[in-house]
Amino acid sequence: AGLRNQFGKPISGHQLIQQKLADIETAIMTSRLLCYRALDMMDRGERSNAAAAMAKRHATTVCLEAISNAMGVHGGMGITLEAGLEQLWRDCRMLAVPDATDEILTLIQGREITGIAAFR
pLDDT at 51 over 60: yes
Q: How many domains does the chain have?
A: 1
**pLDDT tens digits, one per residue of 67-107:** 998 888 887 777 888 888 889 988 988 887 777 888 888 89
∠47-53-59 over CA atoms, to 5°?
Answer: 135
**pLDDT tens digits, one per residue of 16-25:** 889 999 999 9
CATH of the domain at 86: 1.20.140.10
Q: What residues make up the domain containing 52?
A: 5-114
Instruction: Classify residue 24: in a domain, yes or no.
Output: yes
User: Which residues in the chain belong to E strands, given as ranges?
Assistant: 5-6, 9-10
Instruction: Classify residue 119: in a domain, yes or no.
Output: no
